[in-house]
């Protein structure tokens, strides 16, 4: 399905309810499989969380998690500990290109039985679940934090817990801290000092408890972009959010000040208001803690015609697509001038935005949602627009409801 957006104007003072964070949800689903006394409220309805739920419930010997990176990594660790089960875990053709060797090597050194079905270092994996005998492992921490979170999530069920030593510069740190915070919330003891993380084994029965998932901040980024591209005075309310979030992408509130957007934290929601023009110089953001909002920010800067330099983007090339290349190709079709390296992207200031351009989305939900706000500036076509369901199935309905003119 392609969606054509006619140049639109936002209705003012709209309210949108966004589904639960897919990162928090997929962690809690795994913890719930280990500790059935956990109840979850405001679970994400994203494809990735639905797939995670199904995979945890299935008795089938082949599990297909499509494009869901967290599900692939978290389930690999989980299945490795499920005594006596033999399973093949696979995914989309892109998932078969997303590296997993660092996690597999760590699990093997803890005593797991995992082999590669196709290419060494990549899914699909054949996993024969067994009791893991060791409790100390070191791994590279600069490729994906999901490998680390995967190990941490199963750690409290190992006889001696787990001691991780992280080598190299640690990437996507807030996601590791999110995992540790959720473990602490359910009653598991952890520590994270410099490059060492320890998780204590769980020795007592956890009490029945309900955890409430905060709504997804990465999804909120598209509304930040929409407000940034709107006239001064335009506002929108989105829920349910809190000031002290577990999600690193909540840094949006700070970053978008530079684009003239103020964030007001109310009881359970945030109100985004365009209060002033965007800064036109010194827009520079280091995003190794918040890689998922890079696409949104790049498109906002282009839409506003301001120069913006983003660093810390070394993980973008192994996500749903090579996001650095995808951004360069699609933004340049619209008239942008983009410079990329292995880990950075610069949007140069430009005046013109071409109209009626078709944007390819490369099976990447964030390509579709990041480019959509440009509909406030020009008419634009988003190819394969249904990719949004990976994280935000209602995106297009919400988008229409706030005033966008879709065909």
Ligand X SMILES: O=C(O)C1=C[C@@H](OP(=O)(O)O)[C@@H](O)[C@H](O)C1
Ligand Y SMILES: C=C(OP(=O)(O)O)C(=O)O
SS3 359: strand
Instruction: Say whether 146 counts as a known binding-site residue.
Output: yes
* Candidate residues 18, 33, 68, 369; the one interacting with ligand Y per rule CB under 6 A: 68
Binders of ligand X among residues 314 to 373 (CB under 6 A) are 315
SS3 407: coil
**Residue among 315, 320, 365, 317 nearest 148 (CA):** 315
- How far is it, in rounded angstroms, from Cα 385 to Cα 359? 10
Tell me whether strands 113-116 and 125-128 are parallel, antiparallel or unpaired. antiparallel
Stretch that binds ligand X, among 51-59, 144-152, 226-234, 379-387 (CB under 6 A): 144-152
CB nearer to ligand X: give 170 or 376. 170
Residues 6+ apart with CB under 8 A from 100: 72, 73, 76, 121, 122, 123, 125, 147
Instruction: Say whether 271 counts as a known binding-site residue.
Output: no
**Judging by beta carbons within 10 Å of its beta carbon (0-12, 13-18, 19+), is residue 363 exposed, middle or buried?**
middle
CB of 74 to ligand X, least distance (A): 8
Instruction: Say whether residue 70 binds ligand Y (CB under 6 A).
Output: yes
CB nearer to ligand Y: give 188 or 368. 368
Instruction: Say whether residue 292 binds ligand X (CB under 6 A).
Output: yes
- How far is it, in rounded angstroms, from Cα 382 to Cα 366? 12
**Residue 68 site contact among ligand X, ligand Y, none (CB < 5 to 8 Å, cut-off depends on kind):** ligand Y
Instruction: Say whether 73 counts as a known binding-site residue.
Output: no
Instruction: Say whether residue 53 binds ligand X (CB under 6 A).
Output: no
CB nearer to ligand X: give 100 or 114. 100
CB nearer to ligand Y: give 135 or 319. 319
CB nearer to ligand X: give 202 or 288. 288
CB of 102 to ligand X, least distance (A): 11
CB 84 within 8 A of CB 49: no
Binders of ligand Y among residues 318 to 357 (CB under 6 A) are 319-320
Instruction: Say whether residue 23 binds ligand X (CB under 6 A).
Output: yes
Instruction: Say whether residue 314 binds ligand Y (CB under 6 A).
Output: no
Residue 398: both structure tokens together: 């919400």
Stretch that binds ligand X, among 37-45, 86-94, 167-175, 227-235 (CB under 6 A): 167-175
CB 225 within 8 A of CB 299: yes
The active-site residue, picked from 47, 249, 292, 398, is 292
Other CB atoms within a 10 A radius of the CB of residue 43 amount to: 24
Instruction: Say whether residue 366 binds ligand Y (CB under 6 A).
Output: yes
CB nearer to ligand X: give 5 or 345. 345
**Residue among 378, 300, 293, 294 nearest 334 (CA):** 378
* Candidate residues 149, 156, 215, 250; the one interacting with ligand X per rule CB under 6 A: 149
Instruction: Say whether residue 217 binds ligand X (CB under 6 A).
Output: no
Phi, psi at residue 309, to the nearest 5°? -120, 125
- How far is it, in rounded angstroms, from Cα 111 to Cα 392? 37
Number of residues located near ligand Y, criterion CB under 6 A: 9
Sign, CA dihedral 133-190-31-143, equals negative
Instruction: Say whether residue 144 binds ligand X (CB under 6 A).
Output: yes
Residue 185: both structure tokens together: 């919330």
CA distances in angstroms from 214 to 41, 291, 333, listed in the order given: 9, 19, 36
Stretch that binds ligand Y, among 68-76, 166-174, 202-210, 330-338 (CB under 6 A): 68-76
Sign, CA dihedral 388-393-395-401, equals positive
Stretch that binds ligand Y, among 65-73, 278-286, 306-314, 348-356 (CB under 6 A): 65-73
Element (H, E) at 137: strand 136-140
CB 237 within 8 A of CB 66: no
* Catalytic residue flag (residue 292): yes
Instruction: Say whether residue 70 binds ligand X (CB under 6 A).
Output: yes
* Candidate residues 24, 140, 214, 292; the one interacting with ligand Y per rule CB under 6 A: 292
CB of 67 to ligand Y, least distance (A): 6
**Residue 172 site contact among ligand X, ligand Y, none (CB < 5 to 8 Å, cut-off depends on kind):** ligand X
Residues near ligand Y (CB under 6 A): 67-70, 292, 319-320, 366, 391
Q: Binding site membership for phosphoenolpyruvate: which residues?
A: 22, 69, 98, 146, 323, 366, 390
Question: So which residues are the catalytic ones?
Answer: 292
Residues near ligand X (CB under 6 A): 23, 70, 144-146, 149, 171-172, 175, 291-292, 315
């Amino acid at each position: 399905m392609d969606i054509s957006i006619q140049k639109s104007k936002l209705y003012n003072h709209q309210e949108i309810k966004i589904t639960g964070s897919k990162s928090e949800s997929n962690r809690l689903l795994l913890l719930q499989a280990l500790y059935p006394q956990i109840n979850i409220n405001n679970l994400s309805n994203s494809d990735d969380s639905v797939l995670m739920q199904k995979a945890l419930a299935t008795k089938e010997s082949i599990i297909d998690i499509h494009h869901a990176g967290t599900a692939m990594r978290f389930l690999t660790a989980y299945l490795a500990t499920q005594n006596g089960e033999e399973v093949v875990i696979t995914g989309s053709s892109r998932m078969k290109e997303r590296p997993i060797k660092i996690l597999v090597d760590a699990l093997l050194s803890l005593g797991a039985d995992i082999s590669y079905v196709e290419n060494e270092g990549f899914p699909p994996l054949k996993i024969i679940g067994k009791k893991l005998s060791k409790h100390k492992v070191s791994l590279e921490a600069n490729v994906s934090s999901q490998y680390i979170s995967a190990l941490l999530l199963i750690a409290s069920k190992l006889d001696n817990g787990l001691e991780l030593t992280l080598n190299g510069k640690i990437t996507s740190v807030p996601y590791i801290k999110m995992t540790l915070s959720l473990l602490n919330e359910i009653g598991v003891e952890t520590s994270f000092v410099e490059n060492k993380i320890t998780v204590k084994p769980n020795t007592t029965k956890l009490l029945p408890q309900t955890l409430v998932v905060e709504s997804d901040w990465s999804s909120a980024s598209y509304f930040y972009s929409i407000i940034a591209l709107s006239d001064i005075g335009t506002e929108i309310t989105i829920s349910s959010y809190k000031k002290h979030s577990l999600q690193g992408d909540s840094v949006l509130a700070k970053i978008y000040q530079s684009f003239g957007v103020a964030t007001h934290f109310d009881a359970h929601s945030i109100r985004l208001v365009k209060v002033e023009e965007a800064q036109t110089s010194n827009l520079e953001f280091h995003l190794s803690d918040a890689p998922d909002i890079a696409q949104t920010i790049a498109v906002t800067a282009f839409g506003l015609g301001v120069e913006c330099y983003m660093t810390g983007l070394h993980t973008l090339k192994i996500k749903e697509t090579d996001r650095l290349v995808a951004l360069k190709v699609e933004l340049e079709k619209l008239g942008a001038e983009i410079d990329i390296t292995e880990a950075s992207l610069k949007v140069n200031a430009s005046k013109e935005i071409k109209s009626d351009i078709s944007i390819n989305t490369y099976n990447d939900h964030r390509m579709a949602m990041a480019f959509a706000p440009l509909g406030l500036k020009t008419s634009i076509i988003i190819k394969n627009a249904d990719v949004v369901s990976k994280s935000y199935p209602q995106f297009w309905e919400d988008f229409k409801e706030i005033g966008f003119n879709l065909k």
